[in-house]
A and B are shown apart, each in its own frame.
Chain A
């Protein structure tokens, strides 16, 4: 698509593009230099600000940050593991054939999706007087289960009708058809979205900072409170860790998406092939 928007550049256009690139780079570089000047005027580059990561206290600092990372991953892991089955359950109720079940579920899902996650976390924390960890996990579970349910519903609706019809025709109950025919395919189709949502979940654990859950950002704040001059360096390292973790999970999602589009293009015929591939694939 991109290349359709303009010609393959000739010598003149290449020159203009080069000049544009240079001007663009200069502007961006000026921004970076400006930032560096501001930072260095605050003494950010003095080695005293950074040596805490290598001197005698380094072990303590890194231990604290490590504990923060661990707490972040723990909250995200527990929340994801609970949220997914709950999402499947929500989805089942949401596409139920009985209006009495379907409509209330829809209302609940709309409610959960329209609510800020922080608010749910705070609600659990204050109303049920739980620990920050439980509050963070419950908030994340409720919100993400609702999102997972919507993603899975979209996946199931994207399946060819014949899948369910065939399931019912060979005598499966509606529930059996859902669990053994529709969900496996829907999950497969929606894997990129599901993983993208996992990144969101991982990012949202940082909301734990607000309810004093000792995750990475809270640890950064602790370090900065002990020694205010370390605020920037601690923040820089903490943010870098967060971004690295998230970027790697996002990369994973893109990889799976690429693999998925190669295999699962088209309708039923290719679905049969994918099943075949799965059976034969080395685990």
Chain B
């Protein structure tokens, strides 16, 4: 138990880095994912094809492999990063963007067809239909699944700890080495800090889901 209190500074540093990774990659993934979803429903065949290909491949590749690529293979190919955080953000956002794209796409599909037809019949173009009518409604229904994706992102960021980034899991690995006698307590401490992020997010998703269900 003492081991936890002794290591509080490391936990705190790791906690902040985990949050940092999750927020930065989350924002990038949201933007890239929404663009991918828009490409997926666009009239331009090349964009549709690319988006489909990207989403299929990224969703079926283990995150560890993507991390391995960005943290170990890329530097060997001459693309070096000052900090491994950059590699982690690249890996997390490429992976998560595919899931965001799928969630947004199913959100687009959940908007009643009449909405699109109405927008089209008053003469809106594809960009207007999507940007002014469909996406604002789709994003609302898509918020609970998106929060779940963000929870997964927070948990996934732990893989970065094994690829030289000192976030919560990275410190967990380090501290279990230095506190060989209190391994269990150290890891319970790490778990606590993860739950500190994931449980409130889960409650939030649950709450919003209920709200949306009432509104419909």
Residues of A that sit less than 8 Å from B by CB = 1-2, 4-7, 9, 13, 17, 20-22, 24-25, 28, 38-39, 41-42, 44, 110-111, 113-119, 122-123, 126-127, 199, 203-207, 209-210, 217, 220-221, 228, 231-232, 235, 238-239, 242-243, 246-247, 250
Count of B interface residues, CB-CB < 8 Å: 56
**Contact yes or no, A217 B190, CB < 8 A:** no
Tell me the complex Cα distance, A247–B53, Å. 12
Q: 7 A-B residue contacts at CB 8 Å?
A: A4-B113, A28-B50, A39-B77, A111-B195, A115-B155, A126-B176, A232-B73
The answer to the question of B184 belonging to the interface, with a C-beta cut-off of 8 Å to chain A, is: yes
Distance in Å: Cβ of A162 to nearest Cβ of chain B: 22
Tell me the complex Cα distance, A85–B47, Å. 43
**Contact yes or no, B44 A20, CB < 8 A:** yes
**Contact yes or no, B60 A250, CB < 8 A:** yes
Contact of A24 among B46, B57, B63, B72 (CB under 8 A): B46
**Contact yes or no, B46 A203, CB < 8 A:** no
- Which residues from chain A contact B161 at a C-beta distance below 8 Å? 118
Distance in Å: Cβ of A175 to nearest Cβ of chain B: 28
**Contact yes or no, A24 B76, CB < 8 A:** no
**Contact yes or no, B46 A206, CB < 8 A:** no
Tell me the complex Cα distance, A208–B189, Å. 22
Distance in Å: Cβ of B73 to nearest Cβ of chain A: 5
- Which residues from chain A contact B145 at a C-beta distance below 8 Å? none
- Which residues from chain A contact B162 at a C-beta distance below 8 Å? 118, 209-210
The answer to the question of B24 belonging to the interface, with a C-beta cut-off of 8 Å to chain A, is: no
- Which residues from chain A contact B59 at a C-beta distance below 8 Å? 250
Tell me the complex Cα distance, A2–B109, Å. 8
**Contact yes or no, B199 A114, CB < 8 A:** yes
Distance in Å: Cβ of A213 to nearest Cβ of chain B: 11
**Contact yes or no, A17 B43, CB < 8 A:** yes
**Contact yes or no, A126 B183, CB < 8 A:** yes
**Contact yes or no, A5 B130, CB < 8 A:** yes
> CB-defined interface of B185-207 with A at 8 Å, one 1/0 digit per residue?
00100110011001100100000
Tell me the complex Cα distance, A238–B78, Å. 21
Chain A interface main SS type: helix
- Which residues from chain B contact A39 at a C-beta distance below 8 Å? 77
Tell me the complex Cα distance, A256–B85, Å. 40
Chain B interface main SS type: helix
Contact of A119 among B79, B117, B169, B183 (CB under 8 A): B169
**Contact yes or no, A210 B190, CB < 8 A:** no
The answer to the question of B3 belonging to the interface, with a C-beta cut-off of 8 Å to chain A, is: no
Distance in Å: Cβ of A224 to nearest Cβ of chain B: 8
**Contact yes or no, A242 B194, CB < 8 A:** no
- Which residues from chain B contact A217 at a C-beta distance below 8 Å? 62, 64-65, 68
Kindly list the 9 A-B residue pairs having the minimum CB-CB distance in the complex, ordered from nearest.
A206-B62, A116-B158, A24-B46, A114-B198, A246-B60, A206-B64, A21-B46, A20-B44, A210-B162
Central interface residue in B44, B78, B117, by most chain A CB within 10 Å: B44
**Contact yes or no, A118 B108, CB < 8 A:** no
Distance in Å: Cβ of B38 to nearest Cβ of chain A: 10
**Contact yes or no, B183 A114, CB < 8 A:** no
The answer to the question of B134 belonging to the interface, with a C-beta cut-off of 8 Å to chain A, is: yes
**Contact yes or no, B159 A210, CB < 8 A:** yes
Tell me the complex Cα distance, A89–B113, Å. 41
- Which residues from chain A contact B126 at a C-beta distance below 8 Å? 5-6
If the complex has contacts A21-B45, A110-B199, A116-B169, are A42 and B77 also in contact, measured as CB distance less than 8 A?
Answer: yes
**Contact yes or no, A114 B158, CB < 8 A:** no
If the complex has contacts A21-B46, A115-B155, are A231 and B73 also in contact, measured as CB distance less than 8 A?
Answer: yes
**Contact yes or no, B156 A116, CB < 8 A:** yes
If the complex has contacts A38-B77, A231-B72, A242-B62, are A110 and B50 also in contact, measured as CB distance less than 8 A?
Answer: no
- Which residues from chain B contact A122 at a C-beta distance below 8 Å? 169, 172-173, 176, 187
Which chain A residue shows the least CB distance to B39? A24
**Contact yes or no, B62 A119, CB < 8 A:** no
Central interface residue in A9, A110, A111, A116, by most chain B CB within 10 Å: A116
**Contact yes or no, B43 A6, CB < 8 A:** yes
Distance in Å: Cβ of A33 to nearest Cβ of chain B: 15
**Contact yes or no, B41 A41, CB < 8 A:** no
If the complex has contacts A1-B108, A116-B156, are A235 and B78 also in contact, measured as CB distance less than 8 A?
Answer: no
Distance in Å: Cβ of B194 to nearest Cβ of chain A: 6
Tell me the complex Cα distance, A89–B120, Å. 51
- Which residues from chain B contact A111 at a C-beta distance below 8 Å? 195
Which chain B residue shows the least CB distance to A205? B62
A44-B77, A119-B194 known; 20 new pairs, CB 8 Å cut-off, are A5-B43, A5-B120, A6-B126, A24-B50, A28-B50, A114-B151, A114-B155, A114-B194, A114-B202, A115-B155, A122-B173, A123-B187, A126-B176, A127-B183, A199-B60, A203-B63, A210-B159, A231-B73, A247-B60, A250-B60
